[in-house]
Amino acid sequence: MTVSSSLPELLATAREFVDREVIPLEPAFLAGSELDPLVGEARVRAEAMGMWAPALPEEVGGAGMSLVEFAHLSEELGRTPLGHYVCNAQAPDVGNMELLLQFGTDEQQDRWLLPLVAGEIRSSFSMTEPGYAGSNPTWMSATAERDGDEYVINGDKWFTSAADGAAFTIVMAVTNPDADRYRRASQIIVPSGTPGFAVVRNTPVMGDVGSGWASHSEVSFNDCRVPVANRIGEEGAGFVLAQERLGPGRIHHTMRWIGICERAIELMCRYAVDRELAPGRPLADRQVVQHWIADSRAETNAARLMVLDTARHLEAAGNKAARVEISAIKFFVANVLQQVLDRALQVHGGLGMTDYTPLAFWYRHERAARIYDGPDEVHRNVVARAEIARHRSS
C-alpha cells in the first residue's frame, strides 16, 4: 500500500472510522467496563483499512507511513482515548517497536518486535524512578550487573507505562557506573514472569488507577536475571537510544494532543449551541464563550503548523538537527492542550467534571504532558539557549 498517494483519502476514512466505530466505545471505556471483544473487532477493521502499526514498515507488518503521514493520522486518532490503541500505535508500544526495529538483533526482532507489531502482545518501558528527578534521565539507581552471560538487575521504577498485562518491559539500568553520565546506562528486555521482576501496583493518576495498556505501574527488580543477549544496542548506549526514540515520539504525542484539542473544540461548540442559560439564550451567544472558542481554534491551528514543520525537518535532517524545534513543540503544544481542555471543561460546567464526556479523563491524564519526556522548563531552556547562542556568535 502506498500511503502517500492517498493520504487525504486515508485521513477521511480514519475520521469516519473513529466517529462510527471508536467514539461509541468511549462510555464503556470511561466507566471501566470490559471492552476486549469490541475493541478487538475494531482493531481487525483498522488493520484491514491500512491503519495498523502506521509508523512501522510494511516488511514487518506495519502500514509503512512516513513520519509526516503518521503525524496527520495521529491527529485523527487522538480525537478519542481509544484511537491509537485500536490502530496498535499507542505508547509505549510504538516507541518500543521503533527501538527494536532500529537497534534490535535479529533474535530480538523475531521474538519481540514481530509479535508486537502484529498486536499479539504488549510491552512497557521502565525508566523513571521515585527517588530521582525525572528531568535528569542520566541519574538513576537501578543497576544491571554483569554475571557471566547474564545481567542481574536490581531497582525500583514507577510510571512504567502499560506494565499491567505486558509481555515484557524494556528497563533502563546502570551497567557502567564509572562511565561518563551519558554512557552509564543500558536498555535491557525483561520478559514478564522473569523471577525477581514484579508489577507492584498500578499508580493512581489523579484518582484513576487504570488498567492494561491505559495504566502506569510501580515495578521492582530484585536479583532479576536475564541473558546479556536481551540488551538492546551496545552496553552504555541506553541514554543515546532513549534520545533516538524521543524525537519521533514527541511528534506522535503532540499530534495526538492536537487531535484532543480538535475534539475538545467540537464538544465545546456543540454544547455551547445546545445548552441554554434561559429559554432562547444559548451559551454560544455569550461573548466570553465565543472568545474561548476563537482562542482555542487559533492556538490549535498554530500548534499543528509548528508540529508538521518540525516533523518535516526531523525526517529530512534527523533528531539532532531538529532538537530545538522538538523542544519548542513539546512545551508549546502541551500548554495549548491544557488551555483548550480547561476552556472546554468550563463551558461544560458540572458535566465537564464527570466521565460522561472524555474531557475529564483527558484533563487528568494529559496534565502530565507538561512533565513527561522532559518538563516544560527543561525544553524552554533548550530553546532559550539556542536563541541566545545565535546572538553571542554574531
Count Cβ atoms within 10 A of the Cβ of residue 189 and give its class: 0-12 exposed, 13-18 middle, 19 or more buried.
Answer: buried
* Fold type of domain 239-392: Butyryl-CoA Dehydrogenase, subunit A; domain 3 (1.20.140)
Cα–Cα distance for residue pair 260/229, rounded to 1 Å: 40
Are the CB atoms for 236 and 183 separated by under 8 Å?
A: yes
Range 4-89: architecture per CATH: Orthogonal Bundle (1.10)
pLDDT for position 1: 34
Low pLDDT (below 70) residues in the chain: 1-5, 393-394
pLDDT in tens, 316-370: 999 889 999 999 999 999 999 999 999 999 999 999 999 999 999 999 999 999 9
pLDDT of 28: 95
Q: CA-to-CA distance for 80 and 357, rounded, in angstroms?
A: 10
Residue 359, burial from CB neighbour count under 10 angstroms (0-12, 13-18, 19+): buried
Q: Which three cell numbers stand for residue 178?
A: 564509572
Cα-flanking dihedrals φ and ψ of residue 331, to 5°?
-80, -35
Q: Where does the chain have alpha helices with state H?
A: 7-17, 26-30, 36-48, 67-77, 83-86, 93-103, 106-108, 114-118, 238-274, 287-317, 323-348, 359-366, 376-392
Q: What is the pTM of this model?
A: 0.95
Kindly give, in sequence order, each residue whose CB lies less than 8 Å from that of residue 251, ignoring residues fewer than 6 positions away: 67, 70, 71, 74, 307, 310, 311, 314, 326, 329
Q: Please tell me the distance from the alpha carbon of residue 233 to that of residue 186, in angstroms, as a whole number.
A: 8
51-108 per-position pLDDT tens digit: 999 999 999 999 999 999 999 999 999 999 999 999 999 999 999 999 999 999 999 9
| pLDDT value at residue 392 | 87
Q: What are the domain boundaries of the chain?
A: 4-89, 123-236, 239-392
Question: What CATH class is the domain 123-236?
Answer: mainly beta
The confidence score (pLDDT) of residue 136 equals 84
Q: Are 168 and 193 within 8 A, CB to CB? A: no
Cis status, amide bond into 92, omega within 30 of 0? yes
Q: In the prediction, which pLDDT does 2 show?
A: 38
